Amino acid sequence: MEELKEISPTEVKRLLQEGKKISLIDVREDEEVAEGKIPEAAHIKMGEIPMRLDEINQDEEHIIICRSGRRSENVAYFLQDHGYKVKNMTGGMLEFNKD
């Protein structure tokens, strides 16, 4: 199994502040996203990922996000196994929202 790439919430914030075009996919449940998400992130619940692969561009890299980094890690491995370029945001939204 290929090693999964990771990115820190601090690095994601820096890329957004610099205006870089990055693809963010939030895999949390509706009620979690209702509490707040990164505005630039697409929302595709973890359980819907397999049915919605056609919405995810295989030609670009995606940063996968959840609450703590665990579900996003699982989704990132799944997508990577299906030929997608992905990074897991370590620490999830808990870390992202700390500052």
Please give the pLDDT value at position 19: 95
For the domain made up of 5-96, the CATH class stated in words is alpha beta
HSE-CB for 10 with a 13 A CA cutoff: 1
Q: Is 66 a catalytic residue?
A: yes
Burial of 12 (0-12, 13-18, 19+ CB in 10 A): buried
d(CA 35, CA 19): 24
Mean pLDDT score across all residues of the chain: 96
DSSP letter, residue 2: P
Per-residue pLDDT of the chain (99 residues; tens, 9 = 90+): 689 999 999 999 999 999 999 999 999 999 999 999 999 999 999 999 999 999 999 999 999 999 999 999 999 999 999 999 999 999 999 999 996
DSSP string for 49-71 = GGGGGGGS-TTSEEEEE-SSSHH
Please give the pLDDT value at position 42: 98
Residue 75 · residue 53 · CB < 8 Å: no
Please give the pLDDT value at position 2: 82
Residue 26 · residue 33 · CB < 8 Å: yes
pTM of the predicted protein model: 0.96
- Given 66, 76, 79, 89, the catalytic residue: 66
**72 Cβ neighbours under 8 A, 6+ residues apart:** 27, 64, 65, 66, 88, 89, 92
Please give the pLDDT value at position 1: 64
